Amino acid sequence: MNKIKVEKDSKVINFEYNNKKYTFIGETHSGLKIDISPHILNGLLILECPKRYNNYTINKISTHYKKSVKDNKILKNESYIDLSILYFSKKYQTLLNKEKKLKDIVKKKNIKMICIDERNPTDFQKKQVRTLYKNNNEQYKIIINIFIILKKEIKKMKNSNIKKNLLKEINEIINEKMKKNSSYIVQTLSEIILDFEIINNYILNDKIKEKNITAILGKNHVNNIKKYLNL
């Protein structure tokens, strides 16, 4: 297992599943951090950042995150995710490949880096459900529908305790937490969307060839996945 040390407000869990070794790093998205990227083992690196970045050029990614890290250091606000994207984009940036897409470059590297978050921040804002219902009823309906679609995807999974745990959570979200008078935060409820993406596509998926898989996510995602997998 990869024994990565993180700041005390972050979390690391190591586990094995389907003959693969996983290291999940859960960060609080604030507080100055030391870059852990050099300690990541060869294999697949999953990052909680916009999926569209996979289609950005190495040069664009490097420039964007170089500025982000520089700005955040002044604010004492850092991210393992930002540092990892900056580290590997700089490492893979050469005259020959700097204008090539991130997803095409990392296929040939020892560490395959992938951004996986498809959620739209404008859909899942940091506001209470009841506030959303009152101020933007159409958006409220769209979000409930997203959860209903997710429920259908979960129901397609093979029967297991993981499926049972996910179904229990999505049912509670749809039937209770998304009620019009709910005080739950919409952004928090959206966590299950990414949780499902990680579990279904990178833990239960037999097509993943890499034997070492590292994920850097928000701390809540790591706690959620630990719960769904009964770790």
pLDDT at 65 over 90: no
pLDDT of the residue at 75: 54
Q: How confident is residue 3, by pLDDT bands cut at 50, 70 and 90?
A: confident
Q: Which of 154, 230, 216 is nearest to 7 (CA)?
A: 216
CA dihedral angle for residue 49, residue 54, residue 57, residue 62, rounded to 10 degrees: 30
pLDDT at 79 over 90: no
**What residue type is assigned to position 36 of the chain?**
I
Q: pLDDT: is 71 or 95 the higher one?
A: 95
SS3 115: strand
Sequence spans of domains, the chain:
11-119+194-228, 129-189
pLDDT of the residue at 68: 72
For 136, counting Cβ atoms within 10 Å of its Cβ (0-12 exposed, 13-18 middle, 19+ buried), the class is middle
pLDDT at 71 over 80: no
Cα separation, 27 vs 163, in Å, equals 26
Average pLDDT, the chain: 91
Query: Residue 27 pairs with which residues in a beta bridge?
Result: 218
Find out whether 150 and 193 touch, Cβ atoms under 8 Å.
yes
pLDDT at 31 over 90: no
pLDDT of the residue at 74: 60
